[in-house]
Structure 1
Amino acid sequence: MLYLSQQTSLLFGVVKAIVIMTTATALAFLLERWLLPSSGTVLLILAGVIVTALSVPNRIAYGAVVFGAMAFNFLFTEPRGSWHMQDVEEISTMTVFFAIGIVVVYLITRERLQRFSLQDAELRSTILLSLSHDLRSPLTSIIGNLSTFQLYQHKIDKAQQDELIDAAMVESERLHTYLENLFQATRFEHGIVNLSTQSTPLVPLVQRVIERFANQEEISLSIEDSALNGVVEVQTSLFEQALYNLFDNALRYRKDNTPVLCRIGVSASGFWLSITNEVANPLNETPTTWLKPFYSSRRGDQGHGGAGLGLSVAHSIILAHHGRLAFNTDQTSLQVRVDLP
């Protein structure tokens, strides 16, 4: 799948370069009829090279330089319609065009690589910061609870022992969820996704996800009669993870002591599911921002934001199932709606 994606992207780049260079050459050819000097035609073709270099991969852009030089030779030098060149000035003009074209493509490519390197460094920094916080916190809690249990199990009663073990289990589940999201985010980022779907009853699937939460009683489930026997084509484990992330986000960022409302219904194209919660704080970011990998409301080590993977992974999984994820927000509530075929 990744290979096909790369091939498609390369083909699209070639087509785009041909269109740009053909347009620039045609424009130069038309303007030449209005007594545009040869230096003007060269500049128009060079402009096409620059636009191409800004729009496509570098190896295609270098090809655009060759295309431009050949077009100038064939269409604008004497004798017209041949590859022969007789005029010294025209030979010099084409040589200068070729040299400048190569330099321009090189400089644009270098600037692009530097920009990508900076973005990559920023992403690595964000990932490391996320790892340091979102792995350290649950691990510290697990180690602390289990160490306390090991040292004091003979000095504390059964209820306190169970409390320590339960707390360690909750943090273990949190750690597992984070690592699973990190794994899925990496797979989707590199296009390594091969869905193996099967017909799955929707309502039991949602109920299984809700049952994974310790505070499941705070999630209210409402099902339209027409959706009770609904069946969807999904890869069960992946889709459960997407729904888990959506419920987890709603529970994590809701207003204290308010329920999370989940509704399931039938639409014209399939089924829909909505998850609504009252917000603890006004929503300042736009929904599209929340879908960026590793975006978090946490700044540095401050704040309560998560790793910024949950919604991004959920969105990728839903898209892979040909579904749609949408947000409806106001100053008091947030609704996430999933539409499935």
Structure 2
Amino acid sequence: MTARPEPPNEKPSPVIGSWRGHLFAVTVVAAVTAVTVLLEVWIKNYNLVLLFVLAVVITGLKYGSRPAIVAAVLSFLGFNFFLTEPKYTFEVSQRDELATLVILFAIALICGPAASRIRSQILLLQERVALTRDLQSARLQSEMEQLRSALLSSVSHDLRSPLAAMMGAAESLKVLDKQLTPVDRDDLLDTILQESRRLDSYIQNLLDMTRLGHGTLKIERDWVSIADIIGSAVARLRRYFPGVKTEFLAKSPPPLLYAHAALIEQALFNILENAARYSPADECIRISVARQGDTCVIEIEDRGPGIPEALREQVFDMFYAVAEGDKKAQSTGMGLAICRGMIGAHGGTVRALAGTQGRGTRIVVKLPVDYPSSPAGGLPPEH
């Protein structure tokens, strides 16, 4: 048996809605009339008019203009019949009461449609809010799907590529053991070593991304020298890119930072690795550090193809990579995103700017130079 489809949500019939509105108009005007008859002993007639106007406005807000007009007419008749002399007739003997009736009818006719328009605008606003919420939900779902797709694609490529190279090199060593020359054997071993380091770097970035996303990245601070951190990051870079050229410049005495040394090193390494991937082999990566007030400024500049100004913020998005040709396959698009997360966890900022000579990219990292007064932090050591 096939399941019977559920009927679509049906809106109330216009006839039923109009009937309900008119019934509401009769009911609310009758209630107001009864109240005004009881209050007439203490309150003047021209003050009781406001209760009828209120009934018309409520009807207009709830059911629209036509029931509001019905309420206006009924208010006019009810006020005339029960509250003007001679009572219980539709005659009017006093001019001021006639003026009150005319004003009541005019105000009611104006307020009723106005309340109806307000009601329509409120309903339209509610619809827009609901539509905006649905669009935001759909956009969020789309972004999640794109992120999931990018993650799967990245994991598939960046895990399988080095594994395939390592397996191929290891299989060649095993199958062609006696046929390989010492040079060929060293090349295969170098391939295994380089691809294993590449795989290790990728897994480290993946773990860092997970910890950043779940807020479990621990910041165990201590006093560290930014010059030592940069030196460690550069030494690590040379293990992955033996031919890379770097140049270090201290524009002022490098300050001490109260930070997590390993996280800052990983952040700077990701920037350096990105610069090494996109820089020409014969170009130098320039690293400078300076203290500006209570801020440590680190600049890493390459001479690569550069990043278009419109994309300089997007490069810090997860899985976003600006590259061309074969280089794009070597970039996971996680390095700079993780870098911003690690620097941000220390209260710092990361920006991508144009190179100083119109070429390449300059990444500017700013970290606060904190001097905590708590016993746990203490003062910076003398150096």
Q: Taking structure 1 as the reference length, what is the TM-score of the superposition?
A: 0.65
CA contact (8 A) 1:290 1:308 kept: yes
Residue 218 of structure 1 aligns with which residue? 244
Residue 288 of structure 2 aligns with which residue? 263
Alignment of 1:326-337 (within 5 A): 326-330=351-355, 331-337=358-364
Residue 161 of structure 1 aligns with which residue? 185
Match of 2:259, as an amino acid?
V
Residue 205 of structure 1 aligns with which residue? 229
Residue 30 of structure 1 aligns with which residue? none
Given the superposition, is the C-alpha separation of residues 328 and 106 from structure 1 closer, same or farther in structure 2, using an over 3 Å criterion?
A: closer
Match of 2:245, as an amino acid?
I
| Structure 1 position 218, deviation (Å) | 2.8
Q: 1:290 aligns with which of 280, 292, 315?
A: 315
Alignment of 1:118-137 (within 5 A): 118-137=142-161
**Are 2:349 and 1:324 aligned?**
yes
Structure 2 residues not aligned, in runs of 5+: 1-49, 65-118, 369-383
CA distance in 2, matches of 1:322, 1:110: 35
Structure 1 residues not aligned, in runs of 5+: 1-77
Listed one character per residue, the Cα deviations across residues 104-136 of structure 1 (whole Å, up to 9, x for unaligned) are: 654443333222212222222222222222222
CA contact (8 A) 2:297 2:366 kept: yes
Identity of aligned residues (%): 23
Residue 169 of structure 2 aligns with which residue? 145
Given the superposition, is the C-alpha separation of residues 117 and 218 from structure 1 closer, same or farther in structure 2, using an over 3 Å criterion?
A: closer
Residue 365 of structure 2 aligns with which residue? 338
| Structure 1 position 262, deviation (Å) | 1.7
- Name the stretch that deviates more: 118-127 or 264-273: 264-273
Given the superposition, is the C-alpha separation of residues 307 and 144 from structure 1 closer, same or farther in structure 2, using an over 3 Å criterion?
A: same
CA distance in 1, matches of 2:143, 2:209: 17
Given the superposition, is the C-alpha separation of residues 297 and 133 from structure 1 closer, same or farther in structure 2, using an over 3 Å criterion?
A: farther
| Structure 1 position 205, deviation (Å) | 1.8
Q: Secondary structure at the match of 1:293?
A: coil
- Name the stretch that deviates more: 300-309 or 135-144: 300-309
Match of 2:276, as an amino acid?
L
Alignment of 1:54-93 (within 5 A): 87=55, 90=58, 93=61
Q: Secondary structure at the match of 2:364?
A: strand
The alignment covers a number of residue pairs equal to 258
Match of 2:235, as an amino acid?
E
**Are 2:140 and 1:116 aligned?**
yes
CA distance in 1, matches of 2:277, 2:294: 31
Given the superposition, is the C-alpha separation of residues 79 and 206 from structure 1 closer, same or farther in structure 2, using an over 3 Å criterion?
A: farther
Q: Taking structure 2 as the reference length, what is the TM-score of the superposition?
A: 0.59
CA distance in 2, matches of 1:297, 1:225: 30
| Structure 1 position 295, deviation (Å) | 0.7
Q: Secondary structure at the match of 1:193?
A: coil
| Structure 1 position 225, deviation (Å) | 7.7
| Structure 1 position 248, deviation (Å) | 0.4
Residue 22 of structure 1 aligns with which residue? none
| Structure 1 position 254, deviation (Å) | 0.6
Residue 276 of structure 2 aligns with which residue? 251
CA distance in 2, matches of 1:95, 1:118: 39
